[in-house]
């Protein structure tokens, strides 16, 4: 004989104050005589302290319940965690609403899917069902894995929907340095403000986020404020492309501010710096959505789908683009001291790692990453400090032996920069010059280093033989390998 419902719902009742929460209180009597009707199920999306999905199955006069942190899996290959929670009253199958702050499970509960199910097997440690819902349909097993509350859920039959594989590591598409093209104002281009930050691809699965830098390092732990993005995406799988940006007091992207975050991996430092140097993930592309690879779709279509997601939050934004006004917009960015524009052909596909002419960057002041090949000491009292940096780049035709001198950079350093540079450069010291061919002037007093550190340099002019003039140091870049640093050549307009 089945246990009395009163016993089964004891835990449910003891966790809740029914004067404070709108959730249903257990009824004294069985609400209806069990007829030969199909059994009901519900999946509630519960935006509590942590987003999760609650699966409830009508069984033996109550709603047997599991909390599923990453949602109901669609792919039979994937086992997902399911935590067995207390039985709920049957009325809960219809419940949605706001559980007030301070109450058990505080947050918003909404019905994500509901329907009926057939029960194939119901054992203490294993349940097999066949769902017939709007979103969830198919044969699923729930089974205890480990002790007590730890269960797993997995799909047993093949998914009905044809789903493209979830991309695991996409090298971002790159923009070529160029002058404003002649047809920039004619409507074939999306013009976006160039953001001075670091590129990151976001891999979003229900309740999970991974951020990868352009050289495929996992940087998720460095930017915890972005994680809330997955809550907005709910149960959707998505791969986003965008730029991590730190804005300064005047609302301009500041690479200097961002540097306070780039190198940090210790959790406590990250937590502190997050307050002084908050980062915003500026999302400008959508590469995959809900089982569909979008990289073959034109940019205009990808943007349309992205904008429908309405990704706007404290630490993530979807910046708009404009068409037909690129030159006007470029002038506006110059007036505001912004870096420039990125133009993207509206009909272009996404080419991972590609630097075709489909994406162009148009810069107000020129910027370039260069590799530090040595330094000149300062004068007088500063003779043990860095006076200027000797910069270089790799000539792609000459390989490892082709490290070329590209001029000296003697301004733009803060005191902290000078200290950090010395600390980072000393272990890289070498006797001989790393530069092939042309040597820096006064090479005798130069301190040479292995060409491993990459710095971002702003400059007014580059001579025709590849020398930076009036270069100013903007910061070290950890997101680009030294051996990939090339001179960026402008495309003819
Ligand atoms: Mn819940």
Task: Indicate the domain borders of the chain.
Answer: 5-155, 174-364, 367-484
Between β-strands 176-177 and 359-363, what pairing exists: parallel, antiparallel or unpaired? parallel
How far is 223 from 270, CA to CA, in rounded Å?
A: 8
Neighbours of ion ligand 1 (CB under 5 A): 46, 54
Q: Report the separation in Å between the CA atom of 35 and the middle of ligand 1, taken as the mean of its atom positions.
A: 29
Residue 8 Cα, ligand 1 centroid: separation in angstroms? Answer: 18
CA of 3 to the centre of ligand 1 (A): 24
Spatial contact of 178 and 362, defined as CB atoms under 8 Å apart = yes
Please report the pLDDT score of residue 3 as a whole number.
47
In CATH, the number for domain 367-484 is 2.40.50.140
Give the largest Cα separation in the chain, rounded.
96
Residue 65 Cα, ligand 1 centroid: separation in angstroms? Answer: 9
CATH topology for 174-364 is D-amino Acid Aminotransferase; Chain A, domain 1 (3.30.470)
Q: Which residues are part of the catalytic machinery?
A: 194
Q: How far is the CA of 108 from the centre of ligand 1 (A)?
A: 9
Nearest to 116 by CA among 141, 144, 93: 93
Burial of 2 (0-12, 13-18, 19+ CB in 10 A): exposed
Torsion angle of alpha carbons 483, 489, 491, 493, nearest 10°?
150
* Gap from CA of 79 to ligand 1 centroid (Å): 20
- Cα gap 30→11, rounded to integer Å: 18
Q: What is the pLDDT of residues 413-437, one digit of tens each?
A: 988 999 999 999 999 999 999 999 9
pTM to 2 decimals?
0.75
Q: What is the pLDDT of residues 22-57, one digit of tens each?
A: 999 987 655 555 555 789 999 999 999 999 999 999
Tell me whether domains 174-364 and 367-484 share a fold: no
Please tell me the distance between residue 451's alpha carbon and the centre of ligand 1 in angstroms.
53
Q: Give buried/exposed letters for 378-395 (b at 16+ CB in 10 A, else e).
A: eeeeeeebbbbbbbbbbb
Count of C-beta atoms within a 10 Å radius of residue 226: 24
Q: How many CB atoms lie within 10 A of CB 171?
A: 15
> Which residues are registered as beta bridge partners of 173?
none
Environment class of residue 443 by beta-carbon count within 10 Å: exposed (0-12), middle (13-18) or buried (19+)?
A: middle
Sheet-wide strand order for 340-345: 176-177, 359-363, 340-345, 189-193
Q: Report the distance separating Cα 348 and Cα 368, nearest Å.
A: 25
The answer to whether 320 touches 345, Cβ cutoff 8 Å, is: no
Ligand 1 mean position, distance from CA 444 (Å) = 70
Query: For each of the chain's 493 residues, which pLDDT tens digit applies?
Result: 444 545 789 999 999 999 999 999 987 655 555 555 789 999 999 999 999 999 999 999 999 999 999 999 988 888 999 999 999 999 999 999 999 999 999 999 999 999 999 999 999 999 999 999 999 999 999 999 988 899 999 999 988 778 888 998 999 999 998 889 999 999 999 999 999 899 999 999 998 999 999 989 999 999 999 999 999 999 999 999 999 999 988 888 888 889 889 878 899 999 999 999 999 999 999 999 999 999 999 999 999 999 999 999 999 999 999 999 999 999 999 888 788 999 999 999 999 998 889 999 998 877 889 999 999 999 887 888 999 999 999 987 776 678 999 999 999 998 899 999 999 999 999 999 999 999 999 888 999 999 999 999 988 677 777 788 778 999 998 888 888 888 876 544 3
Contact predicate 95/44, CB 8 Å: yes
Q: Are 9 and 16 in contact (CB under 8 A)?
A: no
Is-contact 244 258, C-beta < 8 A?
yes
The token pair that represents 154 in the structure block: 């997995």
DSSP state of 178: B
CA of 18 to the centre of ligand 1 (A): 17
Q: What's the pLDDT tens digit per position in 322-334?
A: 999 999 999 999 8
Rounded CA gap, 106 and 416, in Å? 45
């Amino acid at each position: 004989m089945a246990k009395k419902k009163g016993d089964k719902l004891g835990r449910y009742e003891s966790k809740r104050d029914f004067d404070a929460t709108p959730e249903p209180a257990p009824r004294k009597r069985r609400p209806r005589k069990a007829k030969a009707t199909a059994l009901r199920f519900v999946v509630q999306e519960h935006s509590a302290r942590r987003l999760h999905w609650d699966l409830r199955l009508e069984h033996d006069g109550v709603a047997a319940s599991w909390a599923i942190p990453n949602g109901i899996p669609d792919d039979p290959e994937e086992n997902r965690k399911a935590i067995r929670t207390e039985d709920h009253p049957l009325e809960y199958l219809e419940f949605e609403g706001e559980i007030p702050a301070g109450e058990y499970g505080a947050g918003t509960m909404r019905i994500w899917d509901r329907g009926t199910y057939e029960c194939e097997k119901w054992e203490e440690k294993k349940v097999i069902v066949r769902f017939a819902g709007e979103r969830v349909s198919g044969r699923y097993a729930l089974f205890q894995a480990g002790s007590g509350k730890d269960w797993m859920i997995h799909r047993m039959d093949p998914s009905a929907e044809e789903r493209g594989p979830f991309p695991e590591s996409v090298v971002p598409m790159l923009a070529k340095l160029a002058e404003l093209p002649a047809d920039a104002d004619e409507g074939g281009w999306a013009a976006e403000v160039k953001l001075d930050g670091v590129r990151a691809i976001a891999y979003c699965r229900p309740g999970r986020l991974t951020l990868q830098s352009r050289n495929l390092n996992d940087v998720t732990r460095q930017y915890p404020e972005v994680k809330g993005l997955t809550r907005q995406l709910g149960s959707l799988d998505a791969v986003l492309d965008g730029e991590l940006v730190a804005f300064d007091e005047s609302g301009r992207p500041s690479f200097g501010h961002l540097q306070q975050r780039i190198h940090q991996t210790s959790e406590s430092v990250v937590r502190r710096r997050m307050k002084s140097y908050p980062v915003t993930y500026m999302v400008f592309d959508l590469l995959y959505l809900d089982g569909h690879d979008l990289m073959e779709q034109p940019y205009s279509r990808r943007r349309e789908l992205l904008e429908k997601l309405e990704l706007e939050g404290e630490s993530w934004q979807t910046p708009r683009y404009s068409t037909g006004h690129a030159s006007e917009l470029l002038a506006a960015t110059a007036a505001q001291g912004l870096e420039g524009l990125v133009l993207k052909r509206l009909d272009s596909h996404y080419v991972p790692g590609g630097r075709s002419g489909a994406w162009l960057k148009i810069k107000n002041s020129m910027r370039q990453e260069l590799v530090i090949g040595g330094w000149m000491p300062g004068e007088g009292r500063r003779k043990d400090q860095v006076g200027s940096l000797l910069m270089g780049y790799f000539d792609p035709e000459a390989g490892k032996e082709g490290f070329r001198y590209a001029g000296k950079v003697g301004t733009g350093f803060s005191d902290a920069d000078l200290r950090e540079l010395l600390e980072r450069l000393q272990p890289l010291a070498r006797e001989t010059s790393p530069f092939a061919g042309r040597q820096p002037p006064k090479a005798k007093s130069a301190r040479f280093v292995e060409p491993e550190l990459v710095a971002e340099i702003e400059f007014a002019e580059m001579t025709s033989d590849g020398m930076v003039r009036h270069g100013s140091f903007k910061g070290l870049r950890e997101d680009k390998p030294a051996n990939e640093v090339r001179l960026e050549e402008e495309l003819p307009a």
